[in-house]
Amino acid sequence: MDTQAVMIAAFAGWLIVSRAPAILHAPLISSCLFLHGIVVVAGLHILLNATSPAEQVAGFLAVLFGAANAAGGYAVSAGSLTKFRLAAASQAAAALAAAEPGRDRRRNSAPRRRAKPKRPAKD
C-alpha cells in the first residue's frame, strides 16, 4: 500500500509540474528547495541518532541527495533570475530609447545637434 501511495504522489506531482505555466516556475522551485532543506535536516537527525549501519547509510544518503538537490535548485534559480534580469534590463533600455527620440540608438551618445542653416554671404 505504501508503494502505491508513493507512485500516485509522484505521478500527481509530475502532472502538476508539467502543466504549470512558466510564470510559476520560481515559486515551484522555491517550494522544492524548502522541501529539500527539510530532507537534509531529517537526514541529519537520522544520521545523528542512528543505531545500526542501515540507519547510518539511510541518513548519509538523505543528507547527500537532499544537499545535492538543494544546490542544483539554487543553481537553476540563479540562472532563471539572471535571464529575467537581462530581459528587464533590455526592456528598460528600449523604454529609455523610446523616451528620448533624439538619442542615437546604435551607440550611447548625446542627442544629435541639427546643423544651423548657412546664411548667404554679404558682399
Delimit the domains of the chain by residue range.
23-98
Measured CA to CA, the distance from residue 62 to residue 43 in angstroms comes to: 5
Cell match 538523505: residue? 62
| Residue 35: predicted pLDDT | 79
Whether the pTM exceeds 0.75: the reply is: no
Per-residue pLDDT of the chain (123 residues; tens, 9 = 90+): 577 877 888 888 788 777 877 777 777 777 777 778 888 888 888 888 889 999 899 888 888 988 888 888 777 777 767 776 766 677 777 766 666 555 555 555 555 566 666 777 775
